Chain A
Amino acid sequence: MLERLATLAMGARFELVLEGRDRIHARAAGEAALEEIERCDARWSLFRTDSLIARVNREAVQRDVPLDADTFELLAACEELRALTDGAFDVAVGQRMAALGFRGAADGASNDGGAFELDGARRTLRFTRAGTQLDLGAIAKGEALDRAAGVLRECGVERALLHGGTSSVLALGAPPQSTGWRVELAGFEPARDVLLCERALSVSAPRGRVAQHNGASIGHILDPRTGEPLPLDVRVAALAANGREAEAWSTAAAVLCARGLDPRACAPAGIELFTAAATQASHAVHAHSPAPSLR
């Protein structure tokens, strides 16, 4: 029997279904996984004032802010991704996101990289320019799913499906008598199903969350280099070995597509990308659910 649990974190609903040794064990394991997600929320969410990343945004322009090992490693990976994607993926977009009416309350413009420095010896971070704000919204949900899956594995769970806000999905094993968890990718023409097993899938679609800016609807994904929101009809899905890569690459690929580039050219082996400019018809059907729906 599958156990189903959920929690709210990072402004999204995280949900998981899993099969445990028995129902009591499954529930306890699921709760431990959700606690891990909540620990990620406590460090990386901009939806709370006391998170570590909110602390960084307040203080890193004035002093070196010490980080825990997980956060340091995640931010170091973000910098590698920024270099690999020619700045299409960049977490130093918080100020611009806020200026466009999404999270936070800062002014800001475009970002050409190098907005912060990591000191590996002291495990600290410092902003190199005033006004910098980090936003881990393009990677933290995937990372949280990876960590939750790690907890489930430690508990002996072999079959589970986890998602964060339905835009990032991670599969542990496969359901009984199946080779994978079937996930429907909504908004792609033709409609596409993906069988997930020990992999993660993430979808980036600006239409997934929309704000009003200067009288126009804009999506929540922007090109870090120009600071401009992506066209609303861009839609990209990324398959990867883990949630972190899937989420980060789906965002980076969406930006690269909007620049008119082929994201496959810079994606490393193991990252599988599906790109689509959604049709009007699919908008009508999926305007409120551009992310994969679980069946």
Chain B
Amino acid sequence: MSPQDRREFLVSTAGGLAACALTPSLAFARPAIRAGAPVQVAVIGAGRQGRAILGELATIPECAVAAVCDSDDSRLQAALRRAQGVRGFASHAELLDKAPEVEALVIATPTHLHTKIALAAIAAGKHVFVETPLAHTLEDLSALSEAARRSTKTVAAGFQGRANPVYSLARSFFKAGALRELASLRAQNNRKTSWRTPGSTPERDRELNWHLDPAHSLGLIGEMGAHQFDVYSWFLARQPVAARARGELRLHKDGREIPDTVACELVYDDGLVLDWSCTLANSYEGRFELFNGAMAAIKLAWTHGWMFKEADAPTAGWEVYANRQQFHNDSGITLIADATKLAAQGKLQEGVGLPYTSLYYSLADFVKCVAEKAAPACSISEAARTTAVAIKAHEALRTRSEVAIDPKLLEAL
């Protein structure tokens, strides 16, 4: 195939894929889940993420929240007030023992507690959804991966990018070669927050702020970066081979040891580098993932995605009616499912932005997989590999040295 033929092939493939992705109606709609008795779900952990999960599960008709568990009674009672008619438990062991009607568990506890609870739930024959990062040690990851492999139930992980339709659409362009040769990767997660959870007493403060405790926490790299690292793992279908990182306390000098501003480089075997940064001191541009290729760049920002084409990139027919957004000197094509149909109806603008939250898609995918015995959007082994990369990157930050990431280590997960 000549370069010219190849280019035309890629253009038509990218355009064709776009058309395929855009033509079916409701491409961004909620997943269609087989009708049947609602899946009985329990949520373990009623903190910030647990409450968000409870809210989303309440709006998924194919599941019913049967139980909530939290070791902190005030949190548990608050969750029970919100969920209504739901049984409450102080420990996951008690829940597994006394709530046989529960079919599936969503684990949203502090990261270092995931593995113990997930192993118990898998051993009890439950379907399990584990929030991410999966664990804070390689040993825990290995145990969790092994248990998930042996389980005959659905065991899923909560890296939400994989269930996000905007990301799926972007990935179809990426896989079709719309970017051509990759030059660089860049991601950030900026927000202005102390990242502290207030407790009623100083002792309770310490318990709640486990993510500021170096003994338990992977810091910003693990708790925030891992979610973005997984987007690249999914798109590239490979993992980095080395990590470098540096971090500082720039704003929240309140006695914490975990840096509030971090920069990390993940290096791939062909020299490609992902530059990731995160600060808790400034929120400008928030969170995004960027892929820079020779013919286009793709920028993803959770609920929205854009493609920025180079001037010399071939133009596909559908671009004539594409929705565009201006970013200073650059014009981005908004990634919209159903674009062809919406444009024909003069409603293209209505397709901009996700109609459901990213968390909703992730949980709905889990419920669908439980109901239909299907493979989840994010498997434990895939999530374990990404989490292992985050653990290694955190090690690079702690040791202030480049850390190699052994491919064999990742393959074993």
| Chain A 51-77 per-residue mask, 1 if CB under 8 angstroms from chain B, else 0 | 010110010000011111110000000
Interface with A: B56-64, B113-121, B227-235, B320-328, which one?
A: B56-64
Task: Check B196–A68 contact: CB distance below 8 A.
Answer: no
Task: Check B58–A32 contact: CB distance below 8 A.
Answer: no
Confirm or deny: B24 has a beta carbon within 8 angstroms of a beta carbon on chain A: no
**Given A49-B303, A49-B355, A50-B356, do A24 and B196 touch, yes or no (CB 8 Å)?**
yes
**Given A49-B354, A50-B303, do A29 and B58 touch, yes or no (CB 8 Å)?**
no
Interface with B: A35-43, A197-205, A254-262, A275-283, which one?
A: A35-43
**Given A29-B198, A31-B193, do A43 and B58 touch, yes or no (CB 8 Å)?**
no
Task: Check B194–A24 contact: CB distance below 8 A.
Answer: yes
**Given A35-B48, A54-B355, A154-B74, do A27 and B197 touch, yes or no (CB 8 Å)?**
no
**Given A25-B205, A66-B58, A70-B82, do A156 and B200 touch, yes or no (CB 8 Å)?**
yes
Q: How far is the CA of A39 from the CA of B84 in the complex (A)?
A: 18
**Given A35-B48, A69-B82, do A52 and B196 touch, yes or no (CB 8 Å)?**
no
- Which chain B residues lie closer than 8 Å to A84 at the CB level? none
Tier of interface size on chain B: 20 to 34
> In this complex, what residue of B is CB-closest to A54?
B355
- Which chain A residues lie closer than 8 Å to B403 at the CB level? none
Confirm or deny: A48 has a beta carbon within 8 angstroms of a beta carbon on chain B: yes
B367 shortest CB reach to chain A, Å: 12
- Which residues B33-82 have CB closer than 8 A to chain A? 48, 51-52, 54-55, 58-61, 74, 78, 82
Q: How far is the CA of A32 from the CA of B310 in the complex (A)?
A: 43
- Which chain A residues lie closer than 8 Å to B197 at the CB level? 28, 32
Determine which residue in B59, B82, B84, B355 has the highest number of CB atoms from chain A within 10 A of its CB, and name it: B59
Q: Say which residue of B52, B196, B350 sits within 8 Å of A39 (CB atoms).
A: B52
Task: Check B353–A68 contact: CB distance below 8 A.
Answer: no
B83 shortest CB reach to chain A, Å: 7
- Which chain A residues lie closer than 8 Å to B295 at the CB level? none
A160 shortest CB reach to chain B, Å: 13
**Given A49-B352, A50-B356, A155-B200, do A31 and B58 touch, yes or no (CB 8 Å)?**
no
- Which chain A residues lie closer than 8 Å to B352 at the CB level? 49
Confirm or deny: B203 has a beta carbon within 8 angstroms of a beta carbon on chain A: no
> In this complex, what residue of B is CB-closest to A30?
B198
- Which chain A residues lie closer than 8 Å to B357 at the CB level? 42, 50
Q: How far is the CA of A29 from the CA of B254 in the complex (A)?
A: 15
Q: In the complex, how many residue pairs between chain A and chain B have their CB atoms under 8 Å apart?
A: 76
A262 shortest CB reach to chain B, Å: 38
Determine which residue in A68, A70, A105 has the highest number of CB atoms from chain B within 10 A of its CB, and name it: A68
B223 shortest CB reach to chain A, Å: 15
Q: How far is the CA of A22 from the CA of B194 in the complex (A)?
A: 14
**Which applies to chain B's interface (DSSP): helix, strand, loop or mixed?**
loop
**Which applies to chain A's interface (DSSP): helix, strand, loop or mixed?**
helix
Q: How far is the CA of A53 from the CA of B51 in the complex (A)?
A: 18
A132 shortest CB reach to chain B, Å: 17
B302 shortest CB reach to chain A, Å: 10
Confirm or deny: A123 has a beta carbon within 8 angstroms of a beta carbon on chain B: yes
Task: Check A66–B74 contact: CB distance below 8 A.
Answer: no
Task: Check B354–A155 contact: CB distance below 8 A.
Answer: no
Task: Check B194–A68 contact: CB distance below 8 A.
Answer: no
Q: How far is the CA of A27 from the CA of B192 in the complex (A)?
A: 11
B365 shortest CB reach to chain A, Å: 16
Task: Check B196–A55 contact: CB distance below 8 A.
Answer: no
| Chain A 1-30 per-residue mask, 1 if CB under 8 angstroms from chain B, else 0 | 000000000000000000010001101110
- Which chain A residues lie closer than 8 Å to B356 at the CB level? 50, 55
A149 shortest CB reach to chain B, Å: 14
B161 shortest CB reach to chain A, Å: 15
- Which chain B residues lie closer than 8 Å to A123 at the CB level? 58
Q: How far is the CA of A43 from the CA of B54 in the complex (A)?
A: 13
Task: Check B84–A69 contact: CB distance below 8 A.
Answer: yes
- Which chain B residues lie closer than 8 Å to A155 at the CB level? 198-200
- Which chain A residues lie closer than 8 Å to B349 at the CB level? 105
- Which chain B residues lie closer than 8 Å to A70 at the CB level? 55, 82
Q: How far is the CA of A179 from the CA of B354 in the complex (A)?
A: 47
> In this complex, what residue of A is CB-closest to B304?
A49
- Which chain B residues lie closer than 8 Å to A27 at the CB level? 194, 196
Q: How far is the CA of A154 from the CA of B55 in the complex (A)?
A: 20
A122 shortest CB reach to chain B, Å: 9
A219 shortest CB reach to chain B, Å: 26
B117 shortest CB reach to chain A, Å: 24
- Which chain A residues lie closer than 8 Å to B55 at the CB level? 39, 43, 68, 70
B244 shortest CB reach to chain A, Å: 31
Q: Say which residue of B84, B254, B355 sits within 8 Å of A24 (CB atoms).
A: B254
- Which chain A residues lie closer than 8 Å to B61 at the CB level? 64, 66
- Which chain B residues lie closer than 8 Å to A64 at the CB level? 61
- Which residues A192-249 have CB closer than 8 A to chain B? none
Task: Check A68–B355 contact: CB distance below 8 A.
Answer: no
Q: How far is the CA of A242 from the CA of B237 in the complex (A)?
A: 53
Q: Say which residue of B48, B52, B199, B353 sits within 8 Å of A49 (CB atoms).
A: B353
Q: How far is the CA of A105 from the CA of B342 in the complex (A)?
A: 14
**Given A25-B205, A42-B357, A49-B303, do A68 and B82 touch, yes or no (CB 8 Å)?**
yes
**Given A50-B356, A156-B200, do A69 and B194 touch, yes or no (CB 8 Å)?**
no
Return 6 A-B CB contacts under 8 Å, by A number: A31-B193, A39-B51, A49-B303, A54-B355, A68-B54, A156-B200
- Besides the known contacts A27-B194, A28-B198, 17 further A-B residue pairs in the complex with CB atoms under 8 A apart: A27-B196, A28-B197, A31-B196, A39-B51, A48-B353, A49-B355, A50-B354, A50-B357, A50-B360, A54-B355, A55-B59, A55-B356, A67-B59, A70-B55, A123-B58, A154-B78, A155-B198
A-B CB proximity, top 7 nearest: A49-B353, A28-B196, A28-B198, A68-B58, A29-B198, A155-B198, A50-B354
